[in-house]
Amino acid sequence: MKNIVVTLIRVLIGGMFVYLGWTKTQDPVAFLKSIREFGVLTEYWQMNVVAGWLPWFEVWCGLLLVLGVGVRTAAATVGGLLLAFTGMILWRAVQVHAAGDIAFCDIQFDCGCGTGEVVVCYKLVQNSLLTLGSFGLAFIKEHRLALWPHVRIGKPLEE
Amino acid sequence: MKNAWPEWLFVLGVGLSLSVVLNHHSAKGLDLARDYFPSGMPAGSGRTVGSAESSSGASTAPTFENEVAESIQRLEQKGFQAIGTDEVLALMQDPRLEAGMVVLVDARNETLFQERHIPGAYLFDHYQMDQYVDLVLPMCQIAEQVVVYCNGGHCEDSEFAATDLVQLGVPQEKLFIYAAGMRGWNEGGHPVALGDRFDDFDELRTLLQVSPEPEDEQP
Protein backbone atom coordinates (compact mmCIF):
# COMPACT_ATOMS: atom_id res chain seq x y z
CA MET A 1 0.00 0.00 0.00
CA LYS A 2 2.82 2.37 0.93
CA ASN A 3 4.53 1.65 -2.39
CA ILE A 4 1.38 2.48 -4.33
CA VAL A 5 0.95 5.79 -2.50
CA VAL A 6 4.62 6.71 -3.00
CA THR A 7 4.40 5.85 -6.70
CA LEU A 8 1.20 7.85 -7.09
CA ILE A 9 2.77 10.88 -5.43
CA ARG A 10 5.84 10.55 -7.63
CA VAL A 11 3.79 10.31 -10.83
CA LEU A 12 1.48 13.13 -9.73
CA ILE A 13 4.32 15.56 -8.97
CA GLY A 14 6.24 14.50 -12.05
CA GLY A 15 3.17 14.80 -14.24
CA MET A 16 2.46 18.29 -12.93
CA PHE A 17 6.02 19.37 -13.67
CA VAL A 18 5.85 17.95 -17.18
CA TYR A 19 2.51 19.64 -17.90
CA LEU A 20 3.32 23.03 -16.37
CA GLY A 21 6.84 23.07 -17.79
CA TRP A 22 5.56 22.17 -21.25
CA THR A 23 2.92 24.93 -21.05
CA LYS A 24 5.71 27.41 -20.37
CA THR A 25 7.87 26.13 -23.20
CA GLN A 26 4.99 26.86 -25.57
CA ASP A 27 4.83 30.51 -24.51
CA PRO A 28 8.21 31.50 -23.07
CA VAL A 29 7.44 35.18 -23.65
CA ALA A 30 4.52 35.03 -21.22
CA PHE A 31 6.82 33.36 -18.69
CA LEU A 32 9.48 36.00 -19.33
CA LYS A 33 6.95 38.75 -18.63
CA SER A 34 5.88 37.00 -15.41
CA ILE A 35 9.49 36.81 -14.27
CA ARG A 36 9.90 40.51 -14.96
CA GLU A 37 6.80 41.24 -12.88
CA PHE A 38 8.51 39.71 -9.85
CA GLY A 39 11.27 42.28 -10.19
CA VAL A 40 13.88 40.03 -8.58
CA LEU A 41 16.14 39.56 -11.58
CA THR A 42 17.50 42.84 -12.84
CA GLU A 43 19.62 41.90 -15.83
CA TYR A 44 17.91 40.95 -19.07
CA TRP A 45 20.14 37.93 -19.65
CA GLN A 46 19.23 36.57 -16.21
CA MET A 47 15.54 36.76 -17.08
CA ASN A 48 16.19 35.21 -20.50
CA VAL A 49 18.15 32.32 -19.00
CA VAL A 50 15.45 31.54 -16.45
CA ALA A 51 12.56 31.92 -18.94
CA GLY A 52 14.37 30.04 -21.69
CA TRP A 53 15.89 27.15 -19.76
CA LEU A 54 13.83 26.56 -16.64
CA PRO A 55 10.66 25.29 -18.38
CA TRP A 56 12.63 22.63 -20.24
CA PHE A 57 14.44 21.70 -17.04
CA GLU A 58 11.07 21.32 -15.31
CA VAL A 59 9.88 19.00 -18.07
CA TRP A 60 13.09 16.98 -17.70
CA CYS A 61 12.74 16.64 -13.92
CA GLY A 62 9.07 15.79 -14.29
CA LEU A 63 9.84 13.08 -16.83
CA LEU A 64 12.49 11.58 -14.54
CA LEU A 65 9.94 11.36 -11.74
CA VAL A 66 7.20 9.90 -13.92
CA LEU A 67 9.53 7.32 -15.44
CA GLY A 68 11.34 6.65 -12.19
CA VAL A 69 14.90 7.56 -13.18
CA GLY A 70 17.27 8.93 -10.57
CA VAL A 71 14.22 9.38 -8.40
CA ARG A 72 15.76 10.66 -5.18
CA THR A 73 17.91 13.26 -6.87
CA ALA A 74 15.13 14.33 -9.25
CA ALA A 75 12.75 14.64 -6.31
CA ALA A 76 15.26 16.68 -4.29
CA THR A 77 15.79 18.95 -7.29
CA VAL A 78 12.05 19.39 -7.80
CA GLY A 79 11.68 20.09 -4.07
CA GLY A 80 14.38 22.74 -4.28
CA LEU A 81 12.70 24.37 -7.27
CA LEU A 82 9.33 24.34 -5.53
CA LEU A 83 10.88 25.86 -2.42
CA ALA A 84 12.32 28.68 -4.51
CA PHE A 85 9.04 29.21 -6.41
CA THR A 86 7.05 29.27 -3.18
CA GLY A 87 9.42 31.78 -1.62
CA MET A 88 9.11 34.05 -4.66
CA ILE A 89 5.32 33.88 -4.68
CA LEU A 90 5.19 34.61 -0.96
CA TRP A 91 7.59 37.52 -1.35
CA ARG A 92 5.54 39.08 -4.14
CA ALA A 93 2.26 38.48 -2.31
CA VAL A 94 3.65 40.25 0.74
CA GLN A 95 4.62 43.19 -1.47
CA VAL A 96 1.16 43.38 -3.04
CA HIS A 97 -0.42 43.08 0.40
CA ALA A 98 1.73 45.93 1.69
CA ALA A 99 1.03 48.10 -1.38
CA GLY A 100 -2.74 47.94 -1.18
CA ASP A 101 -5.53 47.39 1.30
CA ILE A 102 -6.14 43.80 0.24
CA ALA A 103 -6.79 40.77 2.42
CA PHE A 104 -3.88 38.39 1.91
CA CYS A 105 -6.07 35.54 0.68
CA ASP A 106 -7.84 37.84 -1.80
CA ILE A 107 -4.61 38.47 -3.65
CA GLN A 108 -4.48 36.97 -7.12
CA PHE A 109 -1.79 37.24 -9.75
CA ASP A 110 -0.17 35.31 -12.54
CA CYS A 111 2.72 33.67 -10.73
CA GLY A 112 4.27 32.44 -13.98
CA CYS A 113 3.48 28.92 -12.88
CA GLY A 114 1.80 28.01 -16.15
CA THR A 115 -1.69 28.12 -14.68
CA GLY A 116 -2.55 31.76 -15.31
CA GLU A 117 -3.86 33.95 -12.51
CA VAL A 118 -4.07 32.13 -9.18
CA VAL A 119 -5.32 32.83 -5.67
CA VAL A 120 -2.10 33.21 -3.74
CA CYS A 121 -3.19 31.39 -0.57
CA TYR A 122 -4.32 28.39 -2.58
CA LYS A 123 -1.09 28.38 -4.55
CA LEU A 124 1.06 28.61 -1.42
CA VAL A 125 -0.74 25.68 0.19
CA GLN A 126 -0.52 23.66 -3.01
CA ASN A 127 3.19 24.38 -3.42
CA SER A 128 3.91 23.59 0.21
CA LEU A 129 2.26 20.19 -0.12
CA LEU A 130 4.13 19.49 -3.35
CA THR A 131 7.41 20.55 -1.72
CA LEU A 132 6.80 18.23 1.22
CA GLY A 133 5.90 15.44 -1.17
CA SER A 134 9.05 15.98 -3.22
CA PHE A 135 11.40 16.01 -0.26
CA GLY A 136 9.52 13.01 1.10
CA LEU A 137 10.27 11.15 -2.12
CA ALA A 138 13.91 12.17 -1.85
CA PHE A 139 14.17 10.54 1.59
CA ILE A 140 12.60 7.24 0.57
CA LYS A 141 15.31 4.78 -0.42
CA GLU A 142 13.33 2.28 -2.46
CA HIS A 143 11.04 3.20 -5.30
CA ARG A 144 8.88 0.64 -7.09
CA LEU A 145 7.61 0.83 -10.66
CA ALA A 146 10.66 2.86 -11.55
CA LEU A 147 12.78 2.32 -14.67
CA TRP A 148 16.16 3.22 -13.17
CA PRO A 149 15.63 4.47 -9.62
CA HIS A 150 19.32 4.84 -8.78
CA VAL A 151 21.68 6.13 -11.44
CA ARG A 152 25.01 4.52 -10.62
CA ILE A 153 28.24 3.97 -12.46
CA GLY A 154 30.02 0.65 -12.16
CA LYS A 155 29.11 -2.01 -9.61
CA PRO A 156 25.94 -1.50 -7.59
CA LEU A 157 26.63 -0.36 -4.06
CA GLU A 158 26.09 -2.82 -1.28
CA GLU A 159 23.23 -1.63 0.85
CA MET B 1 22.87 9.30 -0.64
CA LYS B 2 26.46 8.12 -0.55
CA ASN B 3 28.26 8.18 -3.93
CA ALA B 4 25.28 9.83 -5.52
CA TRP B 5 27.33 12.23 -7.60
CA PRO B 6 26.73 10.37 -10.90
CA GLU B 7 23.01 10.76 -10.28
CA TRP B 8 23.36 14.48 -9.54
CA LEU B 9 25.53 14.87 -12.61
CA PHE B 10 22.94 13.06 -14.68
CA VAL B 11 19.93 14.96 -13.36
CA LEU B 12 21.49 18.42 -13.31
CA GLY B 13 24.09 18.11 -16.07
CA VAL B 14 21.97 16.36 -18.66
CA GLY B 15 18.90 18.38 -17.67
CA LEU B 16 20.63 21.74 -18.01
CA SER B 17 22.35 20.73 -21.24
CA LEU B 18 19.05 19.61 -22.73
CA SER B 19 17.40 22.84 -21.59
CA VAL B 20 20.04 24.90 -23.35
CA VAL B 21 19.78 22.89 -26.56
CA LEU B 22 15.98 22.76 -26.62
CA ASN B 23 15.60 26.48 -25.95
CA HIS B 24 18.10 27.17 -28.72
CA HIS B 25 16.35 24.97 -31.27
CA SER B 26 12.76 25.72 -30.30
CA ALA B 27 10.92 28.04 -32.72
CA LYS B 28 9.60 29.84 -29.67
CA GLY B 29 12.89 29.81 -27.78
CA LEU B 30 14.35 32.97 -26.31
CA ASP B 31 17.48 34.70 -27.55
CA LEU B 32 19.57 34.96 -24.40
CA ALA B 33 21.57 37.90 -25.73
CA ARG B 34 18.56 40.07 -26.53
CA ASP B 35 17.09 42.65 -24.20
CA TYR B 36 13.35 42.05 -24.67
CA PHE B 37 12.43 45.03 -22.51
CA PRO B 38 14.41 47.82 -24.14
CA SER B 39 12.67 50.74 -22.50
CA GLY B 40 15.33 51.09 -19.87
CA MET B 41 12.70 50.61 -17.20
CA PRO B 42 14.18 48.50 -14.43
CA ALA B 43 12.46 45.17 -14.00
CA GLY B 44 9.73 45.34 -11.44
CA SER B 45 9.73 49.09 -11.06
CA GLY B 46 6.19 50.26 -10.69
CA ARG B 47 5.02 46.74 -11.23
CA THR B 48 4.00 45.91 -7.71
CA VAL B 49 1.16 48.38 -7.85
CA GLY B 50 0.46 47.12 -11.33
CA SER B 51 0.15 43.63 -10.01
CA ALA B 52 -2.43 44.78 -7.53
CA GLU B 53 -4.67 45.83 -10.36
CA SER B 54 -5.38 42.24 -11.20
CA SER B 55 -5.95 41.28 -7.61
CA SER B 56 -9.56 40.64 -6.88
CA GLY B 57 -10.84 42.85 -4.12
CA ALA B 58 -8.01 45.32 -4.62
CA SER B 59 -9.59 48.59 -3.62
CA THR B 60 -6.66 50.46 -5.11
CA ALA B 61 -7.06 48.77 -8.51
CA PRO B 62 -6.73 51.43 -11.21
CA THR B 63 -9.44 51.74 -13.83
CA PHE B 64 -8.60 51.14 -17.46
CA GLU B 65 -8.84 54.87 -18.10
CA ASN B 66 -6.25 55.49 -15.39
CA GLU B 67 -4.00 52.84 -16.87
CA VAL B 68 -4.26 54.51 -20.27
CA ALA B 69 -3.55 57.92 -18.75
CA GLU B 70 -0.47 56.53 -16.99
CA SER B 71 0.66 54.94 -20.24
CA ILE B 72 0.29 58.22 -22.13
CA GLN B 73 2.36 59.97 -19.49
CA ARG B 74 5.05 57.29 -19.70
CA LEU B 75 5.07 57.41 -23.51
CA GLU B 76 5.49 61.15 -23.54
CA GLN B 77 8.38 60.88 -21.10
CA LYS B 78 10.05 58.54 -23.57
CA GLY B 79 9.46 60.91 -26.46
CA PHE B 80 6.67 58.95 -28.13
CA GLN B 81 3.45 60.54 -29.33
CA ALA B 82 0.23 59.00 -28.07
CA ILE B 83 -3.03 59.07 -29.98
CA GLY B 84 -6.58 58.24 -29.00
CA THR B 85 -9.39 56.15 -30.39
CA ASP B 86 -11.02 59.06 -32.28
CA GLU B 87 -7.79 59.74 -34.16
CA VAL B 88 -7.37 56.07 -35.07
CA LEU B 89 -11.00 55.99 -36.23
CA ALA B 90 -10.33 59.02 -38.42
CA LEU B 91 -7.33 57.22 -39.92
CA MET B 92 -9.56 54.27 -40.79
CA GLN B 93 -11.48 56.59 -43.15
CA ASP B 94 -8.30 58.18 -44.48
CA PRO B 95 -7.43 57.09 -48.05
CA ARG B 96 -3.76 57.22 -47.04
CA LEU B 97 -4.31 54.01 -45.07
CA GLU B 98 -5.10 51.96 -48.15
CA ALA B 99 -2.36 53.77 -50.07
CA GLY B 100 0.17 52.69 -47.44
CA MET B 101 0.96 56.20 -46.28
CA VAL B 102 -0.55 55.38 -42.92
CA VAL B 103 0.52 52.07 -41.41
CA LEU B 104 -1.07 50.36 -38.43
CA VAL B 105 1.18 48.02 -36.51
CA ASP B 106 -0.20 45.41 -34.13
CA ALA B 107 2.50 44.63 -31.56
CA ARG B 108 0.73 41.67 -29.98
CA ASN B 109 1.39 38.03 -30.76
CA GLU B 110 0.04 36.06 -33.68
CA THR B 111 -2.66 34.29 -31.69
CA LEU B 112 -4.19 37.53 -30.48
CA PHE B 113 -3.81 39.08 -33.92
CA GLN B 114 -5.68 36.20 -35.53
CA GLU B 115 -8.47 36.49 -32.98
CA ARG B 116 -9.07 40.14 -33.81
CA HIS B 117 -7.13 43.19 -34.87
CA ILE B 118 -7.76 46.66 -36.17
CA PRO B 119 -8.48 46.31 -39.89
CA GLY B 120 -5.44 46.96 -42.03
CA ALA B 121 -2.91 46.40 -39.23
CA TYR B 122 0.36 44.58 -39.82
CA LEU B 123 1.44 42.04 -37.24
CA PHE B 124 4.78 42.92 -35.66
CA ASP B 125 5.38 40.85 -32.55
CA HIS B 126 8.30 42.50 -30.78
CA TYR B 127 9.35 39.19 -29.21
CA GLN B 128 9.48 37.38 -32.59
CA MET B 129 10.64 40.44 -34.49
CA ASP B 130 12.76 38.55 -37.04
CA GLN B 131 9.65 36.90 -38.47
CA TYR B 132 7.96 40.20 -39.31
CA VAL B 133 10.61 42.82 -39.82
CA ASP B 134 11.17 42.15 -43.54
CA LEU B 135 7.54 42.90 -44.33
CA VAL B 136 6.78 45.64 -41.82
CA LEU B 137 9.94 47.73 -41.87
CA PRO B 138 9.74 48.79 -45.56
CA MET B 139 6.07 49.69 -45.07
CA CYS B 140 6.95 51.83 -42.05
CA GLN B 141 9.81 53.50 -43.90
CA ILE B 142 7.53 54.50 -46.79
CA ALA B 143 4.64 55.61 -44.58
CA GLU B 144 4.05 59.16 -43.40
CA GLN B 145 2.48 57.99 -40.17
CA VAL B 146 2.88 54.73 -38.24
CA VAL B 147 0.45 53.84 -35.48
CA VAL B 148 1.51 51.08 -33.09
CA TYR B 149 -0.79 49.41 -30.59
CA CYS B 150 -0.94 46.41 -28.28
CA ASN B 151 -3.56 45.40 -25.72
CA GLY B 152 -3.66 48.86 -24.17
CA GLY B 153 -3.42 50.11 -20.62
CA HIS B 154 -0.32 48.78 -18.92
CA CYS B 155 0.68 46.76 -21.98
CA GLU B 156 4.16 47.88 -23.00
CA ASP B 157 4.58 45.83 -26.16
CA SER B 158 3.63 48.76 -28.41
CA GLU B 159 6.44 50.81 -26.82
CA PHE B 160 8.90 47.99 -27.32
CA ALA B 161 7.82 47.55 -30.95
CA ALA B 162 8.06 51.30 -31.54
CA THR B 163 11.53 51.27 -29.97
CA ASP B 164 12.51 48.45 -32.35
CA LEU B 165 11.27 50.47 -35.31
CA VAL B 166 13.21 53.54 -34.21
CA GLN B 167 16.34 51.44 -33.79
CA LEU B 168 15.77 50.07 -37.30
CA GLY B 169 15.70 53.55 -38.73
CA VAL B 170 12.06 54.67 -38.70
CA PRO B 171 12.00 58.32 -37.60
CA GLN B 172 10.41 58.70 -34.18
CA GLU B 173 8.36 61.69 -35.41
CA LYS B 174 6.37 59.31 -37.64
CA LEU B 175 5.51 56.98 -34.80
CA PHE B 176 2.32 57.24 -32.78
CA ILE B 177 1.22 54.86 -30.07
CA TYR B 178 -2.45 54.10 -29.60
CA ALA B 179 -2.36 53.80 -25.82
CA ALA B 180 -5.89 52.43 -25.33
CA GLY B 181 -4.92 49.62 -27.68
CA MET B 182 -7.10 46.69 -28.61
CA ARG B 183 -8.99 46.79 -25.35
CA GLY B 184 -10.01 50.41 -25.88
CA TRP B 185 -10.89 49.61 -29.49
CA ASN B 186 -13.07 46.67 -28.45
CA GLU B 187 -14.80 48.62 -25.71
CA GLY B 188 -15.76 51.24 -28.30
CA GLY B 189 -17.35 48.54 -30.44
CA HIS B 190 -15.31 49.54 -33.48
CA PRO B 191 -14.80 47.28 -36.50
CA VAL B 192 -12.29 44.49 -36.17
CA ALA B 193 -10.78 42.07 -38.63
CA LEU B 194 -10.08 38.40 -38.03
CA GLY B 195 -7.35 36.13 -39.29
CA ASP B 196 -4.63 37.33 -41.61
CA ARG B 197 -4.27 40.88 -42.80
CA PHE B 198 -4.68 40.49 -46.52
CA ASP B 199 -8.43 40.94 -47.00
CA ASP B 200 -8.79 43.57 -44.35
CA PHE B 201 -9.55 46.49 -46.64
CA ASP B 202 -12.49 44.65 -48.17
CA GLU B 203 -13.62 43.75 -44.67
CA LEU B 204 -13.12 47.31 -43.54
CA ARG B 205 -15.26 48.73 -46.34
CA THR B 206 -17.99 46.26 -45.50
CA LEU B 207 -17.75 46.91 -41.79
CA LEU B 208 -17.80 50.66 -42.20
CA GLN B 209 -20.80 50.44 -44.53
CA VAL B 210 -22.83 48.33 -42.17
CA SER B 211 -21.72 50.06 -38.97
CA PRO B 212 -24.59 52.33 -37.94
CA GLU B 213 -23.75 55.99 -37.60
CA PRO B 214 -24.37 57.36 -34.10
CA GLU B 215 -27.08 59.71 -35.45
CA ASP B 216 -28.92 56.76 -36.97
CA GLU B 217 -29.34 55.26 -33.54
CA GLN B 218 -31.24 58.29 -32.30
CA PRO B 219 -35.01 57.87 -32.38
| Interface predicted TM-score (ipTM) | 0.90
The answer to the question of residue A124 being in a domain is yes
B78 pLDDT above the threshold of 70: yes
Containing structural domain, residue B167: 63-206
Does A40 contact B44 at a Cβ distance shorter than 8 Å? yes
Specify whether the CB–CB gap between B194 and B183 falls below 8 A: no
Query: What residue of A is the nearest CA neighbor of B111?
Result: A27
> What is the model's pLDDT at position B1?
52
The answer to the question of residue B21 being in a domain is no
> What is the model's pLDDT at position B156?
92
Containing structural domain, residue A130: 2-139
Q: Smallest Cβ distance to A44: which of B36, B48, B61?
A: B36
Residue A100 is given by DSSP the state: S
The answer to the question of residue A145 being in a domain is no
The answer to the question of residue A152 being in a domain is no
Average pLDDT, chain A: 91
> What is the model's pLDDT at position B77?
87
Does B52 contact A99 at a Cβ distance shorter than 8 Å? yes
Size of the A and B interface in Cβ pairs below 8 Å: 149
B46 pLDDT above the threshold of 60: no
Strand spans (E) along chain B: 81-83, 102-106, 122-123, 145-149, 175-178
The answer to the question of residue B33 being in a domain is no
Does B59 contact A102 at a Cβ distance shorter than 8 Å? yes
What is the full DSSP assignment across A28-53?
Answer: HHHHHHHHHHHT---SHHHHHHHHHH
Is the pTM higher than 0.80? yes
Q: How many independent structural domains does chain B possess?
A: 1
Q: How many independent structural domains does chain A possess?
A: 1
Who has greater pLDDT, B12 or B219? B12
State the CATH number of the domain containing residue B121: 3.40.250.10
- pLDDT tens track for A97-106: 988 878 899 9
The whole-number average pLDDT for the span B79-91 is 93
The answer to the question of residue A125 being in a domain is yes
The answer to the question of residue A51 being in a domain is yes
The answer to the question of residue A122 being in a domain is yes
